Structure 1
Amino acid sequence: MIIQPTSVAALTWLGAAAGASSEGWRIGSVLSARPLGITEEGLMVLQIGALTVEAEAPGTGTKLPPQFQVRVLSLGAQPQLEILSANSPLDSTVNQALRERLPQQNGYAPLLATVGALSQWAIAKQLPPYLRSALALLEHSMSSPAELTTPDGVRQAINRSGMFLEAQLAQAPASDATTAHDDMKGALLRLVAILKGQPLLGESSDAEVDPPLLYRGVMPQGRLPLPFELANTSEATDFLPRLYADVQSALARLEVAQLQATPAHWLVEIPVQDEDGADVLQLMLKQEQEAEQGWTMGFSLDLPSLGPIAGELHLRGLRLSVRLWALRRETVDRLEQQFDDLRSRVDATGLFLDQLSCQLGLPQAGSSVSAAFLKATV
C-alpha cells in the first residue's frame, strides 16, 4: 500500500532532502513509521523515521497498524514511499534486489534520445566497431509500428521486451546461442558490459527518477530532447558517459518491473522504432480478483503525430468495455472515426461491446495496484 502526505516539517525535511539526515532517506531504504493522530483538517499525522508528516487518510476500509514500515521509492520535492505489508519479507532476495535497483531506475526515453543521436553516421563512425555492433543489436531488438499491427507481432514484442529473458534462457537448449539475440534486456546487458571498458565514463545521474511502473499505471511517455551540451557536439566520446548512465537506468527499470510482476499482473515497456525516431509503448495486463474471468489491459503511447494516448480495455467473460483518452482534440476525432470499424472487428470475435468511448484529456495518474502514495512536499 502507498499513502500521500500533503506536507512535512519544512526545516527537518529540507535537511533530509539535502542529505543532512543520516537516517536512511535514500531510495530503496526501509523506515519505521507510526500514526500520531489526526489534525483539525482531518489529516493523519505520521512519524516516519525521524520526520513527522501530514497525510490524507487512506481509502475506505484501510486502517494503518500502530507500527508499520515503508520503503523509499523516490526522493526530491515530493518523495514517495511504499507502505509494506506486515507479512512482507524485508530480508528476502526480491526486496534486496529492489532496494539495489530503485535508486538507478528510469525510463527508456533518455536512452532512446541518446541512441538516436549516436545513430547518425558522422558520429557513429567514430565509435569502435564492437560498440557500433552492440548499438545496432539494441535497435534490432526494438519493434516496428508494422509489427505491432497484428496479434502475433504484439506477442513477439512482449516476449522480447526483456521481461521474460531468464525464463526463455532456462527453457532453451544449452546449445542454442540465439535465444537472446533480439531480446531487449539481452541487448542492454551487452551494452553495459562493453561500456564498462570505455574511458571517460561518468556515474549515473543524480536526477530525480519516477517511482516503479506498477505504482504509476500506464502513462504516455514522450520523446526527450538531448541535453544542450550533447545536442551541440559532434564528438562521439562526449556521449559515452550519458549512454552508460542511460543504459544502466533502463536496465534497472526493466529489472524492477520483473521483480514486481506476478502471473496475474505485469506491466511492460516496448521501444518502437520508426523512421524518424523511437517511442515507448506501455502495456499493462491485470487479472481482476473480484471478477471471474475478468481482465484489464491498459496501454499508453505518445506519438509526435497524435500526441499522448491512453486506453483501458475491460474484459468480463464475453463482455468488453473500451475507454480511450487523447490529449489533442484532433486525435479524439481521428480515433472516433475508427469506431465503426472497431465495433465490426469486436463483433467478429464473438464478444459483446458494452462501451466504446474516447475522452479529451488523459486519465488521472495513479497506481495500478491496490495502494496509496506517501508524497511529501515542503
Structure 2
Amino acid sequence: MKGDMTIPPVLPAAPTGVRPGVAGGETLKLLQPLAGLIGPGQSAQAQVLSLKQGDAAFQLLLRLTLDSGRQTNVQVSSAQPLPLGTFLAVTQPAPGSLAISLQQALSSGVASLTRLDPQQLPAGTLLQGKVLSSQVLAQTAGQPSVYRSLVTLLNSALSASTLTLDSPQPLRVGSLLSARVQDAQTLNFVPLSGRQDQLAVAQQLALQQSRQASLEGLLNALQRLPASNSMPDELRASIDKLLAGLPTPAQLGNPATLGTALLNSGAFLEARLLNGQTQALPADMKATLLRLIAQILPGLPANTGFNPGMAASTQAQAMPNFVRNALGMLGQVSAKPQTGGFPLPQRGLPGGEGEDSLENLLKLAAAAISRLQSHQLSSLEQSGRTADGNLLTTWQLEIPMRNAHDIVPLQIKFQREEPSEREPQDTAESRGVKDQLWRVELAFDLTPLGPLHVQAQLLRGNLSGQLWAQRACTAELIASQLGVLRQRLNDAGLSVTDLDCHQGIPPQGGHTPLEQRWVDETA
C-alpha cells in the first residue's frame, strides 16, 4: 500500500436525515431470530458496538435499548457498513429482522469523522488504526478505482473513533496501518517500521534458546546406542541414515558437497515446503529430526516419567507459529531487542542419565530442533535495513561434521548487503552483484586446533579476512600459513586486501549486526 488516503467530503444531507448509501427502511437480518424483541408499534435505540466484514455482508453487534430501559445485545448482518458508535432507531417487522426507520445521530457525537481537527491532530501527527471494512466505489469509465474503508483509530486523542477513508488501493480488512496527517482531509500512508516483527522474533528466539541444546549431544548419544538396543527397525534405520550422512571436513572442501550440506542444514525446510519441494525432505536435517521424534514417541513406555502432554506437543513446539503476530502489539514496543549472537554457545541438557533411553533421545531431538530454529530466528533478527538504508539479509545455520570419531558442529553465517534503491548508481554494471557486500563467518572447534573463528567479506572482487584462534600454538601455525592462503585466494581470482590472524576471540562490541562493518571496504 502506497500513496495518500483521503477523508471524503461531507455530502449534502438527505431530507429525511438518512445517511447517504443507507436508505430508510433498510432491513438488518438477525443472525439468531428473536420473536417479540421489539413490540408492535414500538421502536428501540440501537448502537453499533462492532463491525466485521464477511464475504457477502457485514456483521454488526448492536446494543438495543428498549422503551422499558432494558438493554440487550444482538448480532445482525447488513449490506452496508455502519461505523462504530452509530446510533439507529429500529423496529422489528419480523422475528428474523430489524428495520432502520430513521438513521441520524441521536447524540452529540459523530459516528464517523468527516474531517480532522488541526488543533487535535496537527500536520505530521502519526495515526495508527485497524481496518474494519473495505469496498470498491462505483467506477467512472476511464477513471482509476477508489476503495472506501472504515478505520478505527487506536491512538491519539481520537482513539476509538472511526474514520471513513478513500484510497487508490484496497486496505486489507483486519490489518493495522500507520498514516501521517497531511491536512484536515488527507493522510499519508507510512509503512510499519518492522519493530513489532522484531519483537515477535526476539520473544521466540529467547524461548527457543531456553529449550535448545547442541546438536552433538544428540548425535553422540545416537552413536553410543548399543547394537543390541531393542528399538523398532524403522527408528534404527533412520538413526543409521542420519549418522551416515554426516560430512567430513575434507568433503566440505568440495563446493558441490558444501552447497548440498547448506541446503540440507534445516535452515530452508519451511521455504522448501512452501515451494512444494518435498522431494528434498529426506535429506533435510530438520525434517530428519522431526521424523525421528515421530518414530520415538510411540515407543515410550507407558510408565515413563516424561510429561505425556509435552511429548505430544513436541513437534508443535519445535515448529512454532511466529508469523507476524507482533503487529497486534501496536504501541507496546520498547527497546530494540538484542540479537541471539554468533556463534551459539555449546549447551547440553541437564541430567544425562539413561542416555540410551527413548525418553532421553526424545528430549535431545527436540532440543536439537530448537537449536536449528535459534539459528533461523537469529537470521530473521539480523536481517533488515542498515543505518544508511541498505538492505541486509542474513542466513545463519549449523552443519554437524564427522571428524574421526568426533562430531564437530560447523556454525556458518552469511550476510548480503545490497545498496539502497535511493543510492545513486554510476553505471549499469555498478548495479550488479559486484556492488553487493558479502560477509561470511565460520565458527568450529576442530581437534587438535581448538576453537576457531573466521570472518571475511567480499566487495567487488576484493576480499579481506580475520581469523581468531584461542590456542596460541594454533594462532602461530595459521599465521605462518597466511602467505599460502593469500596465494590460493589470488589464484582463485580474488584480490586479497587484508588477511590477519589473532589469538583469542573476535571483539564483542555494542553495535548490532545491522550497524557494524568489520573492514571499511568502500573503494
Same topology, TM > 0.5: yes
- Residue from 86, 102, 107 that aligns with 2:214: 107
Counterpart-to-counterpart distance in 2, 1:330 and 1:92: 43
Q: Is the 8 A contact 1:326 1:362 kept in 2?
A: yes
C-alpha displacement of 1:91: 11
Counterpart for residue 216 of structure 1: 341
Closer/same/farther in 2, CA of residues 138 and 214 from structure 1, 3 Å limit: farther
- The residue type paired with residue 459 of structure 2 is R
Closer/same/farther in 2, CA of residues 127 and 338 from structure 1, 3 Å limit: farther
Counterpart for residue 247 of structure 1: 365
Task: Map 1:140-151; keep pairs closer than 5 Å.
Answer: 140-151=244-255
Q: Is the 8 A contact 2:202 2:339 kept in 1?
A: no
Which has the larger helix fraction? 1
Counterpart for residue 71 of structure 1: none
Number of residue equivalences: 269
Counterpart-to-counterpart distance in 2, 1:290 and 1:311: 25
Q: Is the 8 A contact 1:326 1:360 kept in 2?
A: yes
Deviation track 1:300-323 (CA, whole Å, cap 9, x = no partner) reads: 001232110000001121211111
Task: Say which SS state the counterpart of residue 305 (structure 1) adopts.
Answer: coil
Task: Say which SS state the counterpart of residue 211 (structure 2) adopts.
Answer: coil
C-alpha displacement of 1:108: 1.5
Task: Map 1:191-340; keep pairs closer than 5 Å.
Answer: 191-197=292-298, 198-199=300-301, 200=304, 202=306, 215-218=340-343, 221=346, 229-230=353-354, 236-237=356-357, 240-259=358-377, 260-261=379-380, 262=383, 264-288=393-417, 292-340=435-483
Q: Is the 8 A contact 1:147 1:153 kept in 2?
A: yes
Closer/same/farther in 2, CA of residues 274 and 213 from structure 1, 3 Å limit: farther
C-alpha displacement of 1:140: 3.5
Task: Say which SS state the counterpart of residue 362 (structure 1) adopts.
Answer: coil
Task: Say which SS state the counterpart of residue 188 (structure 1) adopts.
Answer: helix
Deviation track 1:272-327 (CA, whole Å, cap 9, x = no partner) reads: 12331211001101124679421110000012321100000011212111111111
Counterpart for residue 167 of structure 1: 271
Closer/same/farther in 2, CA of residues 91 and 164 from structure 1, 3 Å limit: closer
Q: Is the 8 A contact 1:213 1:267 kept in 2?
A: no
C-alpha displacement of 1:254: 1.7
Q: TM-score, normalised by structure 1?
A: 0.61
Q: Is the 8 A contact 1:220 1:309 kept in 2?
A: no
Deviation track 1:317-347 (CA, whole Å, cap 9, x = no partner) reads: 1211111111112212332343232112111
User: What's the Cα RMSD here?
Assistant: 3.6
Q: TM-score, normalised by structure 2?
A: 0.45
Task: Say which SS state the counterpart of residue 505 (structure 2) adopts.
Answer: coil
C-alpha displacement of 1:226: 9.8
Structure 2 stretches lacking a partner, 5+ long: 1-191, 311-336, 384-391, 421-434, 517-523
Higher relative contact order (CA 8 A, sep 6+): 1
Q: Is the 8 A contact 1:287 1:294 kept in 2?
A: yes
Q: Is the 8 A contact 1:347 1:353 kept in 2?
A: yes
- The residue type paired with residue 180 of structure 1 is L
Q: Is the 8 A contact 1:270 1:280 kept in 2?
A: yes
C-alpha displacement of 1:93: 8.4
C-alpha displacement of 1:159: 0.6
Task: Map 1:131-146; keep pairs closer than 5 Å.
Answer: 131-146=235-250
Q: Is the 8 A contact 1:215 1:369 kept in 2?
A: no
Closer/same/farther in 2, CA of residues 242 and 304 from structure 1, 3 Å limit: farther
C-alpha displacement of 1:228: 6.5
C-alpha displacement of 1:138: 2.1
- The residue type paired with residue 217 of structure 1 is F
- Residue from 362, 365, 369 that aligns with 2:513: 369
C-alpha displacement of 1:194: 1.3
C-alpha displacement of 1:252: 2.0
Q: Is the 8 A contact 1:165 1:186 kept in 2?
A: yes
Structure 1 stretches lacking a partner, 5+ long: 1-84, 205-211, 373-378
